[in-house]
Chain A
Amino acid sequence: MKIVAVTACPTGIAHTYMAAERLEKAAKKLGHAIRVETQGAMGIENALSDEDVKNADVVLFAAGIPVRSRERFDGKRVVEVSVQEAIRNPEAILTGLEG
């Protein structure tokens, strides 16, 4: 499965990056391809390209705040979870996406 994800949290200091790391690790373990864009204190990093979005099977938002440039994902299947949830149970979330 090809996944694109965006992580973001209110302060953008820590949880944004923790969630990104957890999702990347879990995807690798489960054999999924994932690209994670972080929207944190340092702005948008690892920005998803139009190509990434177009090719993705599913979009995952792990965010405690509204995701920026959301219109990029119009027409795609978007699943939203809290950033804490993404840190705590990344594998369960990814498995849930397959449904």
Chain B
Amino acid sequence: MAQEIEFAFSVPGGLHARPASLLRSAVSRFGSAAMFVNRRSGRTANARSTLALVSTLTRHGDPCALLLDGADEVAAAEAMRGFLRDDLPLSGESLPAAPRPLQTSTALPRALSAAAVPVLRGTRASGGIARGRVVIGEGLAPLADGHVERAGDAAEEIARLDRAFATTIAALQVRSAGAANETERAILGAHLSILEDPELRSRIEDEVRSNGVSAPQAVRATIGHFVGILRASGSDSLEERALDLRDLAGQLVRAVSGDSSEASTDLTGAAVLVAEDLAPSGFLSLDRQHLRGIALGGGGRTSHTVILSRAAGIPCVTGLGEAAAAIPSESETIVDGERGLVVVNPPPAVLRFYEAEMEKLATIRSRLETFRTAPGRTADGRPVEVGANVASLEDVRLAFASGAEGIGLFRTEFLFMSRQEPPSEDEQLHVYSEAARMAGGRPVIVRTLDAGGDKPIPYLGIPREKNPFLGYRAVRMYGEHREIVATQLRAILRASAFGKLKVMVPMVATVEEMRGVRALVRQLSEELAAEGVLFDPGLEIGMMVEIPSAAFLLGALSKEADFFSIGSNDLAQYFFAADRDNERVSRLYSPLHPAFLRLLKQIVDEAHLAGGWIGLCGEMGRDPLRAPLLAGLGLDEISLAAPRIPAVKSALARAGSGECRALLDEALAKKSAPEVEALVRAFSESKRDRAIVADGTVRLRATSRSREEAIRELVNLLHASGRITDADRFEEAVWRREEAASTAIGLGVAIPHAKSAEVRVTSIALLRFEPPFPWVPGDEETVRMAILIAVAEDAPEDAHLRLIASLSRRLMDDGYRETLLSAADEEGVVRLIRDAAS
């Protein structure tokens, strides 16, 4: 009886090469035949073929089904359900997201609209601003070049194909091994998965056999066929995937023709690459030492080339059309990836504008970067470790790249699944020691085998059970499978010599279970010591808290467990007696429910009372909105999927630990999950930085010498400190007001101001000018100071408006103006403005 999983396709960009290759490799762990069905497009595919999957033209939200048929279909269905729910939706998240499309109506900033040179408009594909000299790159080779190349001997052509595939795959593997980041590795992996697709190979060979064409011709025709399907999809993001296929066609054709040289463009000095189009492999072959920016005639916002440029932080503008071809080689050029603009031979005013922009972007970047690398802590400095949940070494790498302070949960089931016998000690040792090495001293919590009737492993011979979640699983079967567990523990012990590993036991309900594991570890340690094998004698052994009864036994359990980690997914299911995958009852599964929060509080308090360390590694930790609530519980650690780590740290850093506790108390008094949800939302809203003025928004030695420059400088101060979302649009709003009437009011001060949707926090920025200059050319009087007032549109912040009104009145006072003009430092100005109300 086949298994069928119905689901809505959850990856925003649709089923393109990357998610397709992930889906393929997830399904390939099982022996069952797997068929992917898209109910909207009506297309079906063998789920083991990346190309066939891509050809289903599956878009975000499409109703789909996965049919599994074979001996291990039950296990496969269970694993794939988890994969489709937890892993697939995240497959896009680790890659840098596309910038928001700009509205085409957006006017240019003054400095650009006033420039005497044309500004080329394209699509912003990768942010940032680059300046360099133009190097013209080659476009892509056409797929069909008109003439038909007949081949004499099909067998010989197929032999040529074999060699070409082998060399291309080998080259990709080499490149993947030396990849600069996860994004490169993921994209190269997707390319490999296409080349290894049996359907691609057999179609190309068919082409040679039935049509008698040459190997290169067969490659071009076959890939042309798939490109045609993608082009007809009507989806931009899928159409842009055709670039990957064309890229591979180019590499295969070169390999078939015995051309070993890479199609690469030489760069020297700070270079801006200008081309009609650029393949991902073309991007990877460019010398990153010199590459500053990319400007393309074609291309979109989601192609793998632009994703690669985003990951590498290379500004990129696409869709310039024919204008790209007209850009002269060697010309000094600005690539503005923030606005999707290219300026060739910029005049000095434009260069000054962009220099200020680059400086501002660097300030913004370093602010965010500090955040990613900073440890997790509340606003008042109480540490809350932020760790990552992982299932593979790839995940470990990504976790530390995302700022994880440790691995809070290393699931080891994947090592044991889809095979006929358990992994050997050495095989496991390799994985655990590699993880320890990558962690470089940071803790790695390895959870021992968590198998059961729901994720059956053939060699464990677990009987089918009526209710596997309440059945024979995890630590409950360690007695019977002592050998397998001992092998895993020995591997972990040996790996503990390479870093700070910890062991965590799943599904513990009784003190005896923990004692059993401890005794086994003790025995293994003695054996290893006798063998003279190195290990960490202080290896900590902790347990998952995921069975409600354990919550009321933590005092006793803490004698046997060195630490605890709450598995909130299972704990909530058992607590609410509701399966979160069962649509009819999943609404009852709500980790934010006050009843569940009470249970969590009981657990954390009990653990701390016993002097223990306690973390949480369930999905509950993934939402930054919930982070203050979890900090309020007093958890020592939160472990979650890597991509959300910076957001969770940032949410923690905005809330004081006292406030978090008060928030929790308030939540505990609520009656339902939606009420708690609303509460945490309101809390997060209230945590945005509300100070009206700060050191960063005041500059006593302004560089501006004109109204245009001064307004931009003021706007940049607010933008760099995160107070406005869009500098250009806010600048426009300021100018609309300025054009109605000059805001230089005759007292040596200009007070430009605007209320607009771009303002996050009502703010004040201030510049002092030395020497003073006329605000409007021709004005008799000069201004010595400009004060920009930015008012938020959505939230009426009465206190701030009151302060602004008082400040406006105080500015009419000669004495007050003088104190502002003579304040010795930024801090003094900030104080004077804040005190204007009193």
Check A94 for interface membership: any CB of B closer than 8 A: no
Question: Smallest CB-CB separation from A86: which chain B residue?
Answer: B745
Tell me the chain B residues, 533-587 only, with Cβ under 8 Å from chain A.
Answer: none
Interface flags for A74-99 (1: CB within 8 Å of B; 0: not) read 00000000101001100000000000
CB distance from B244 to the nearest CB of A (A): 51
Check A25 for interface membership: any CB of B closer than 8 A: yes
Question: Smallest CB-CB separation from B756: which chain A residue?
Answer: A11
B812 touches A13 (CB 8 A): no
A13 touches B740 (CB 8 A): no
Which B residues lie within 8 Å of A22 (CB)? Answer: 812
B805 touches A11 (CB 8 A): no
A10 touches B801 (CB 8 A): no
B809 touches A20 (CB 8 A): yes
Tell me the chain A residues, 6-37 only, with Cβ under 8 Å from chain B.
Answer: 10-11, 13-18, 20-22, 25
B740 touches A64 (CB 8 A): yes
CB distance from A61 to the nearest CB of B (A): 16
Which B residues lie within 8 Å of A67 (CB)? Answer: none
B745 touches A84 (CB 8 A): yes
Please measure, in the bound complex, the distance between the C-alpha atom of A20 and the C-alpha atom of B811, giving whole angstroms: 12
Please measure, in the bound complex, the distance between the C-alpha atom of A21 and the C-alpha atom of B817, giving whole angstroms: 14
The verdict on A21 contacting B809 (CB below 8 Å), with A11-B755, A41-B791, A42-B801 known, is yes
A84 touches B741 (CB 8 A): yes
Identify A41's interface contact among B746, B801, B813, CB under 8 A: B801
B745 touches A10 (CB 8 A): no
B741 touches A14 (CB 8 A): no
The verdict on A11 contacting B809 (CB below 8 Å), with A84-B745, A88-B745 known, is no
B808 touches A11 (CB 8 A): no
A13 touches B745 (CB 8 A): no
Please measure, in the bound complex, the distance between the C-alpha atom of A93 and the C-alpha atom of B809, giving whole angstroms: 19
CB distance from B671 to the nearest CB of A (A): 37
B755 touches A87 (CB 8 A): no
CB distance from B792 to the nearest CB of A (A): 11
Which B residues lie within 8 Å of A13 (CB)? Answer: 753, 755, 789, 791, 801, 804, 808
The verdict on A11 contacting B812 (CB below 8 Å), with A42-B798, A88-B745 known, is no
Of the candidates B745, B755, B798, the one having the most CB atoms from chain A within 10 angstroms of its own CB is B745
Please measure, in the bound complex, the distance between the C-alpha atom of A14 and the C-alpha atom of B805, giving whole angstroms: 6
Question: Smallest CB-CB separation from A18: which chain B residue?
Answer: B808
Check B802 for interface membership: any CB of A closer than 8 A: yes
Which A residues lie within 8 Å of B743 (CB)? Answer: 14-15
Which B residues lie within 8 Å of A64 (CB)? Answer: 740-741
Which B residues lie within 8 Å of A18 (CB)? Answer: 745, 751, 808-809, 811-812
Which B residues lie within 8 Å of A40 (CB)? Answer: 805
Of the candidates A13, A15, A41, A82, the one having the most CB atoms from chain B within 10 angstroms of its own CB is A13
Please measure, in the bound complex, the distance between the C-alpha atom of A41 and the C-alpha atom of B791, giving whole angstroms: 10
CB distance from B774 to the nearest CB of A (A): 15
B745 touches A87 (CB 8 A): yes
Please measure, in the bound complex, the distance between the C-alpha atom of A88 and the C-alpha atom of B781, giving whole angstroms: 12
Tell me the chain B residues, 748-806 only, with Cβ under 8 Å from chain A.
Answer: 751, 753-755, 789, 791, 798, 801-802, 804-806
Which B residues lie within 8 Å of A41 (CB)? Answer: 755, 791, 801, 804-805
Please measure, in the bound complex, the distance between the C-alpha atom of A11 and the C-alpha atom of B741, giving whole angstroms: 12
Identify A11's interface contact among B742, B746, B753, CB under 8 A: B753
CB distance from A1 to the nearest CB of B (A): 21
Which A residues lie within 8 Å of B754 (CB)? Answer: 11
The count of residues in chain B whose C-beta lies closer than 8 Å to any C-beta of chain A is 24
Tell me the chain A residues, 40-79 only, with Cβ under 8 Å from chain B.
Answer: 40-42, 64
Which A residues lie within 8 Å of B745 (CB)? Answer: 15, 18, 84, 87-88
Which B residues lie within 8 Å of A25 (CB)? Answer: 812
Identify A42's interface contact among B742, B805, B813, CB under 8 A: B805
The verdict on A14 contacting B740 (CB below 8 Å), with A42-B798, A42-B802, A88-B746 known, is no
Which A residues lie within 8 Å of B751 (CB)? Answer: 14-15, 18
A10 touches B737 (CB 8 A): yes
CB distance from A14 to the nearest CB of B (A): 4
A17 touches B805 (CB 8 A): yes
Please measure, in the bound complex, the distance between the C-alpha atom of A14 and the C-alpha atom of B741, giving whole angstroms: 13
CB distance from B145 to the nearest CB of A (A): 62
CB distance from A67 to the nearest CB of B (A): 17
CB distance from B688 to the nearest CB of A (A): 20
CB distance from A17 to the nearest CB of B (A): 4
Which B residues lie within 8 Å of A38 (CB)? Answer: 805
The verdict on A17 contacting B809 (CB below 8 Å), with A11-B755, A84-B745, A87-B746 known, is yes
Please measure, in the bound complex, the distance between the C-alpha atom of A13 and the C-alpha atom of B809, giving whole angstroms: 11
A15 touches B808 (CB 8 A): yes
CB distance from A87 to the nearest CB of B (A): 5
Please measure, in the bound complex, the distance between the C-alpha atom of A42 and the C-alpha atom of B755, giving whole angstroms: 13
Please measure, in the bound complex, the distance between the C-alpha atom of A25 and the C-alpha atom of B742, giving whole angstroms: 23
Please measure, in the bound complex, the distance between the C-alpha atom of A40 and the C-alpha atom of B808, giving whole angstroms: 12
Please measure, in the bound complex, the distance between the C-alpha atom of A21 and the C-alpha atom of B740, giving whole angstroms: 22
CB distance from B321 to the nearest CB of A (A): 40
Please measure, in the bound complex, the distance between the C-alpha atom of A17 and the C-alpha atom of B745, giving whole angstroms: 13
Please measure, in the bound complex, the distance between the C-alpha atom of A69 and the C-alpha atom of B791, giving whole angstroms: 26
Which B residues lie within 8 Å of A42 (CB)? Answer: 798, 801-802, 805
CB distance from B273 to the nearest CB of A (A): 45
Question: Smallest CB-CB separation from A25: which chain B residue?
Answer: B812
CB distance from B585 to the nearest CB of A (A): 51
Please measure, in the bound complex, the distance between the C-alpha atom of A82 and the C-alpha atom of B798, giving whole angstroms: 26
Which B residues lie within 8 Å of A14 (CB)? Answer: 743, 751, 753, 789, 804, 808
Please measure, in the bound complex, the distance between the C-alpha atom of A25 and the C-alpha atom of B816, giving whole angstroms: 14
Which B residues lie within 8 Å of A11 (CB)? Answer: 737, 753-755, 791
Which B residues lie within 8 Å of A21 (CB)? Answer: 808-809, 812-813
Please measure, in the bound complex, the distance between the C-alpha atom of A66 and the C-alpha atom of B804, giving whole angstroms: 22
Which A residues lie within 8 Å of B801 (CB)? Answer: 13, 41-42
Residues of B within 8 A of A (CB): 737, 740-743, 745-746, 751, 753-755, 789, 791, 798, 801-802, 804-806, 808-809, 811-813
19 sampled A-B residue pairs with Cβ under 8 A? A10-B737, A13-B808, A14-B751, A14-B804, A15-B743, A17-B804, A17-B808, A18-B745, A18-B812, A21-B812, A21-B813, A38-B805, A40-B805, A41-B801, A41-B805, A42-B801, A64-B740, A84-B742, A87-B812
Residues of A within 8 A of B (CB): 10-11, 13-18, 20-22, 25, 38, 40-42, 64, 82, 84, 87-88
Which 6 A-B residue pairings sit nearest by Cβ, starting from the closest?
Answer: A17-B808, A21-B809, A21-B812, A88-B746, A17-B805, A14-B808
A-B contacts besides A15-B751, A25-B812, A40-B805, 16 pairs, CB < 8 Å? A10-B740, A13-B789, A13-B791, A13-B808, A14-B804, A17-B804, A17-B805, A18-B745, A18-B808, A21-B812, A21-B813, A41-B801, A42-B802, A64-B741, A87-B812, A88-B746
